[in-house]
Structures are given as C-alpha cells and as structure tokens.
Chains A and B, each alone.
Chain A
Amino acid sequence: MSTASTIVYNYLRSKKKFPHVWCPGCGIGIVMGALLRSMADLEIDKNNVVMVSGIGCTGRMPVYCDFNTLHTTHGRAIAFATGVKIAKPNMKVIAVVGDGDGLAIGGNHFIHAARRNIDITTILVNNRIYGMTGGQYSPTTPWQKIGSTAPHGNVEHPFDICDLAKGSGATYFARGTVYHATQLQVLIKAALQKKGFSVVECISNCHTLYGRLNREGSAVKMIQWMKENAINAKVAEKKSPEEIEGKILTGELWNIERPEYTEQYERLIERLGGKPPAEEKPEEKEEAVTQ
C-alpha cells in the first residue's frame, strides 16, 4: 500500500493545478482520492492511463491528475474514450462523468459503449443535479425533489443507473457513496481490473445546490445521510422489501463475462491477416502509417 503522500506526489499534478474548482465539502475529491488510491494499489503505470471527461464539476477531475488527460465536450467523454481505446487497446482508459453529463446529453454514448462492452472504466459521480450551471434537475434527480429548473418539484422520474447499464450490456456495475470511501476504493479497483465496460456509480453530495434547494443540509449532514441510508447489497438480500425501501444499495451489483470489443476487433484483424495483436506497440504503429 502506498502512503497518502506518495500517491499525491505520483498521481496528482500537485505543483501548480491547485486549489481545485470544487466547493469546500464536495464529494468529487473523495471519488478522485478513491480512484487514485485504487490505481496506486494496482501499480498502474500512469503513462499508460488516459483519463477522459466531459463538462461539469466532475469533468474538471483530469486537470488535477497526472495521466494522459482529455477534457472534452459536454456529454461526449465516452465517445472520445472509445476512439482512444480503439487506437491504443493496450492503454487503460477511464471516463469520469457526472449524472447530467454522462446520462442526459451523454446517455446515448453510455448505452452504446455498454452494448459494445468496450474496455472503458466509467466513474459516474452522481450528485443528482447539474452543479456547475447552478442546480438544474438532472436524469437522476428524484421525483418531486427541487432543482432550479424544477422549482415546484421534479415531475420526471430518475434513471436506475444499474438497470440502465445492465440492460445495455455492461459487464460490471458497482455503487458506492462518498461516505464509504474505502469501499469505493475497493469497487473502483475491481472495475479497473474488469476487462469490459465497467461502471462505478459514486453517490456524492452537492450541498451547495441540491442540499440547499432541498433543505438537506450541509456537506456533513448529506454525507451522514449516506451513512444511514446505504445498505450493502449482500446484507440487503437477507432483508424484506419493506426494510430496504428507499435505501441505497451499494457494493458490486453486476459482474458478468462477455467478449470485449477491442479484443474481438484485434482478433478480426488477425483473422484477416492485418497484423497480429503482438505487434501492437505505439512506435511500430507509427512506422506502419508511413509506408
């Protein structure tokens, strides 16, 4: 296990990119911490990591991380990540998206990447609101909750992200909260090791907007709520439906095996006599281009 200070030194652009843009108390930093610690655990070479994001509070994460980083347009992180992964199948590609970014404007890319089962680890920070633009309701804002564009209560219903990912073909889905930081680290670690489209939904707090609009209190109070309302899926199995009503099911909720997209495509190339996957080194590929 690496110590906190070596992780900071190794994985953060610690010299000049701080202070960060997030509000004091925001859960995104906890998600980032869990992600970096799980990468340190796996001793992933940071030269071999591409972190892709879209627009929004979560979208700012790559600026602070010392990987190959790609901050793209709103909602398109997974589509850009798809191009990166196919061009360099040996690289570890991570998409960090928010609930609005990843599931509204980017919802189509989310389901299609899941359907292809392309090896992208998607970290979805779900704070149930558009934070950066000022608290508008998102595809995960619960029914009747308040957003700045749902001042009379949300009349829409939220996505169940687990069902969405499962139904679309993802091979791994886990849910954690920013209160359960250690569990989150374990879940992200498992997702990073999964060959296929994996999703970790990280329940986070936007006390600045969601908390204020819905009178759910400060960061501490909102995170306290996560502590009290999260229930591990394994524990929940033994409880009655009444007992788990309204609770957040956490832990690994879906883990199956299915052929992965880039592996399948590499096999196709091999079958057609293009190039065996063994030659898949960046330098050699550049040579091939010039012929």
Chain B
Amino acid sequence: MAEDNIKLMQGNEACAYGALAAGVTFFGGYPITPSTEIAEILSREMPKNGGRFIQMEDEIASMAAIIGASVAGAKSMTATSGPGFSLMQENLGYAYMTEVPCVVVDVQRGGPSTGLPTKVAQADTMQAKWGTHGDFFPIVLAASTIEDTYHMTIKAFNLAEKYRTPVTLLLDEVLGHMREKIRIPDSSEVEIVNRIKPTVPPEWYQHFELTATHVSPMANYGEGYRFHMTGLTHDPSGFPTAKPAEIKEKLDKLKSKIMQNADDICAYSEEFLDDAHIVVIAYGITARAAQQAVRIARQRRFKVGLFQPITIWPFPEKRLRKILENADLAIVAELNQGQLIHEVRKIAKTKTRVVGTFRYDGELMTPMQIVDKIKEAHR
C-alpha cells in the first residue's frame, strides 16, 4: 500500500482541493474575506484540469453563473462570506425552485453588515435556512476540522447532485484560515455521485417529473431535451402554472425531496451519550471546544455527552429527540446570540431544560466557558 498523503493545510485550501476531488468544473465567485483563498486556489488549479474559473462582477452574478453552468452540465460552486451570502439569497432560492445542483460555501465572519471580516462567528446559521424568500428546505452542512472540510466539500457536491438542489457548506473564519494536518485520500477512496440522467426520449421528458423519491432525472442543456426553466411556480414540464393543485404539488415536491429523505441526508456525531443526563449540542468549530469541555466535565464526574449536528439543515431532530428523552439538561453552545438553540427548544420535552452558552465578540469559545455552563446549569 502506498504511503498516506499527509499535508498541512488551511481550511480554505482543504475546501478547494475537496472541490477538485469532487469533480468541480465551474467556479464563479467574488473576492471576500475570509473565503478568498478558495477562489485563488481554484483559479490556479481548475484550468489545469480542464475546469473553468471566473471572477464575476458581484455575488449576485456569481450565484447566477454557477446555476447557468450547472444547467449546462457543470459541477459548479461558489464561495463567499456573510455579506456575499446575503447577495446570493435570491438566486439561491432560484436554484432551489428550479432544482439545480450547486454548492455554496459560506466562510462565516462576524455580522451583521460588514461586521468583523477577519473574525469568527456562526451567525449565518439561520440565514442559511431562512435567507431566501418563500418556503425553503435547504441542505446545509457544517465542518469542524480541516479534514472535515475536505470531505464535507465532497459530500456537499454529492448531496447537491443526488437531490438536485443547492447545498450550503458553512465554514468559519478560524476554520478557513487555521492550518491542520490532513490526510488526502486516494481518488479511488472518494465516492462521487452524479445527477440522475433521463432515460426517456426527449418528447417524453419532463424536467420536473414527479417520482417516488421526489428527485427528477435531469438533462443538461445541449443534450437534445430542450426544456424550459423558470423561477415562476411551474408544472412538472417546467412551464409556469397558476393552477392551485399544481402549485401545491410543486411546493410539496420541494419539501418532500428533502424532508422525506432526511434520514439519508442527516449526519451527526456523538460522544459519551450512553448514560448522559446532560447533552452539550454544538456544531462547526465550536464542537471542538465542546468536545474538550465534555471530556473535562467527565473527569469531574458530570454525566455529560456531546451531540454534534453535521447536517444543520435539515436539523437531525429525530436522533436528537431520542437522545433528549433521557436528558435533564441540554446546553447549546454557539458563536452567536442564540440561533440553533431554537431548534433544540422545539424538540425538547418539558422534562429537559434547554440553556445556551453563546459568544459573539469575534473570539472562539473556550472549553472552560462550556464547562462553567455545565457546572452552573447543573443542579
């Protein structure tokens, strides 16, 4: 067996190389701290592999271009941070509505507005769910290590292709810029998922065909299918509709595609939960502080465990609900003023107290902040 390919890498670098491993063929982006290295690396590497990179005039155009490229058959992505993510929201909704696979990486920084370009936050958690107008059931992932970032970028592409939907990957400033050891897997170890292609002749093809899994096979432009796409609410053939039954059918399809496949989409990791009365819930970079905190608290004889959602949306509520059945206390740790805590509150029964510990001053949460919260809230 060949020697492992071990590298020291930045998170943004890992994201870019993960995208290349996933088979990215189109990147459209706009410079923004702290995500810019992703664009810089891809601008250098993509043309060497026959891929195409373009720096668009703004984030609105970036999002538009990656959708256009994807419909034409590319595996496409963009990378940005909070202010750019805000600008992408309208077209992100367009990608969702028209069921176009693409990947949006949001390297989160402090907000609101221009906020803290070079400091860490996890405050786009709810924007990733509710940023675009209308009902929206997105797939959103959050990475917590550099190695994670590499694999999660590949996973984002795979989920986008599998479910014909935009996928957002949430990183953050620290993850983006921190360097860590990473083992780059051999390409034979990497699972790649491609969109399902139609098997019917063009005259029978419906771009939004209703299927049992709610995922429609997808032809690309230039393959002889000549379909129509519109952000207007449309029927299975893709043309605008104003019929109430067809409108409902379309919105149900979009929701069911994600929610009925939630078991397949949802990922999470767990530690020390078997006998835990206290459950710490943390995601992304904060999960690492939480992991350390749980270990420290365990040494101090607290029956505490960690639940780390890897898929933020859809929220892994089925699993967490089961875990909280035996818990008296849930502590949600996040780098914002309290966002994901609302999801935990929704599913916790009255027996389980839900408290939060937050940090939003541009610094990372320390394990001791969480340990102190465990001590304080435990009774």
- Chain A interfacial positions (CB closer than 8 Å to B): 17, 46-48, 50, 52, 62-63, 66-73, 76, 79-88, 90-91, 108-109, 112, 265, 268-269, 272-275, 282, 285-286, 288-291
Contact = CB atoms under 8 A, between A and B. Distances in A.
Contacts of A76: 60-61, 64, 91
Contacts of B225: 68
A71 B232 contact: yes
11 contacts: A50-B221, A50-B222, A63-B228, A71-B228, A76-B61, A79-B64, A80-B65, A83-B69, A265-B52, A274-B49, A288-B25
Interface in B160-180: none
Interface stretch (B70-78, B327-335, B339-347): B70-78
A87 B50 contact: no
Contacts of A63: 228, 230, 239-240
A79 B64 CA distance: 6
B69 A282 contact: no
Given A76-B64, A112-B61, A87 B54 contact: no
A286 B240 contact: no
B233 interface: no
A84 B65 CA distance: 7
Contacts of B71: 70, 84
B94 interface: yes
Interface string B278-317: 0000000000000000000000000000000000000000
B304 to A, nearest CB: 44
B192 interface: yes
B74 to A, nearest CB: 4
A73 B47 contact: no
A235 B230 CA distance: 43
Contact of A289 (B25, B66, B222): B25
Interface in B170-204: 187, 192, 194
A84 B50 contact: no
B224 interface: yes
A68 B231 CA distance: 15
A52 B220 CA distance: 15
Interface string B38-57: 00000000011111101011
B228 A73 contact: no
A67 B26 CA distance: 23
Interface range for B: 35 or more
Interface string B15-52: 00000000101101000000000000000000111111
B58 interface: yes
A193 B145 CA distance: 51
Given A69-B229, A274-B48, 17 more contacts: A17-B239, A63-B230, A70-B221, A71-B232, A76-B91, A79-B64, A82-B64, A83-B28, A83-B68, A85-B68, A87-B26, A88-B72, A90-B222, A108-B57, A269-B52, A289-B75, A290-B194
Contacts of A67: 226
B228 A62 contact: yes
B48 A273 contact: yes
B271 interface: no
A199 to B, nearest CB: 17
Given A67-B226, A91-B222, A109 B231 contact: no
A83 B48 CA distance: 19
A66 B226 contact: yes
A274 B51 contact: yes
A269 B50 contact: yes
Contact of A91 (B64, B67, B72, B76): B72
A63 B231 CA distance: 12
Given A71-B229, A84-B71, A282-B73, A48 B194 contact: no
Given A80-B68, A87-B25, A285 B73 contact: yes
Contacts of A69: 226-229
Contact of B231 (A71, A86, A285, A291): A71
A108 B58 contact: yes
B264 interface: no
Contacts of A108: 57-58, 61
Contact of A288 (B50, B68, B224, B232): B50
A86 B65 contact: yes
B4 interface: no
Nearest to B220: A282
A90 B231 CA distance: 26
B239 A48 contact: no
B44 to A, nearest CB: 9
A131 B66 CA distance: 29
B246 interface: no
B31 to A, nearest CB: 15
Given A48-B222, A72-B231, A268 B68 contact: no
A112 B60 CA distance: 13
A289 B71 CA distance: 15
B47 A269 contact: yes
Contact of A70 (B65, B222, B229): B229
B64 A88 contact: no
Nearest to B221: A68
B270 interface: no
Contacts of B94: 72-73
